[in-house]
Amino acid sequence: MKVLCYGIQEAEKPIFEQNNKNYNFNLSFTNELLNDENVNKVKGYDALILFVNCDASADNLKKIKELGIKYIVTRTAGFNHIDLKTAKELNYVIGRVPGYSPTAIASLAFNGGLSLLRRTSYIYEQTRQGNFKIDSNMFAKETKNCTIGILGTGKIGYETAKMWKALDAKIIAYDPYPNEAAKSFLSYTTFDEVIAKSDLISIHMPYFKGENDDVINDEVIKKMKKGTILVNAARSELVSLPAVIKAIKANHLEGYATDVFPHESEIINHDFKDKFPSNLKLIEELIALYPKTLISPHVAYFTDEAIKNMSEISFENLKQLQTTGTCDNRID
């Protein structure tokens, strides 16, 4: 089977190739993401492994079908980049990766939050510029004197909370479906109480379109303590960027660390050091608030263990689709 894998970085190729020894697929790699302009490049392949921000729209899926693609899987847990209604109409059964190394995402969220809390980004930037003066912006509150709020205690939120607990922080959390294992080191409470009492809030809840868009908005941020730090390693749609920018400029929020942001398909793998396009001015404005904002390019997944999980599960999904017409990780 000839398989085209999207969004592949050089560091990922050896892991994909190693795990492919058990399947013997004919793999091709591209750093590109599926879009309107490159969809015709799928011709000659049997299967596609999609990645986040691949545009599997209705039109692109129809073209893919016409060009002879038999199987489609995505190496992501989320699948809002795929028009499932059209996929079903075209008789595609789509496989996904329901979970991969939660510590990969948790560790980046933790590091972003800790960097803002301990002021390390600011400190290192000053000395990088040759400035060794100590100033009040370097003054930090220790984690053992902080309350960390976790919104969503699934696998990733659970691992993030454990990391903060290792530094002796007090952990409170909100989740409509409490994690019994987490109760040994955190206290569940209401969403409003997490918002009002936390020194740092780490977001790990799922996104449901039309239901919890901008769950962190102007009104919610106003209820946070002055100096609160916000971390988002979940979905960009959960947080209102204009509200965050406004709150940081007003010195109400101390900082914002995020691995997700709007217009990702237009941003990932692009270099805007010369000039941002006009429709991305909001991202440029957010970046300009550094060191109070830390933005990473949706890279939380980028660890050896996570890529190992992604490739193994994707290959198994393809094998099952080829042999049975369905797979254990099908999207229904």
**Positions marked active-site:** 235, 264, 298
Q: Are 230 and 220 in contact (CB under 8 A)?
A: no
HEC readout, 123-177: HHHHHHCCCCCCCHHHCCCCHHHCEEEEECCCHHHHHHHHHHHCCCCEEEEECCC
> What is the number of other CB atoms lying within 10 angstroms of the CB of residue 243?
18
Q: What are the structure tokens assigned to 192, written together?
A: 């409003």
Q: Which residue matches tokens 């205690």?
A: 153
**Cα distance between residue 44 and residue 219, in whole Å:** 52
Report the candidate in 252, 149, 255 with the shortest Cα–Cα distance to residue 197: 149
Q: CA gyration radius for the chain?
A: 21
Strands (E) located in 8-121:
26-29, 47-50, 71-74, 94-95
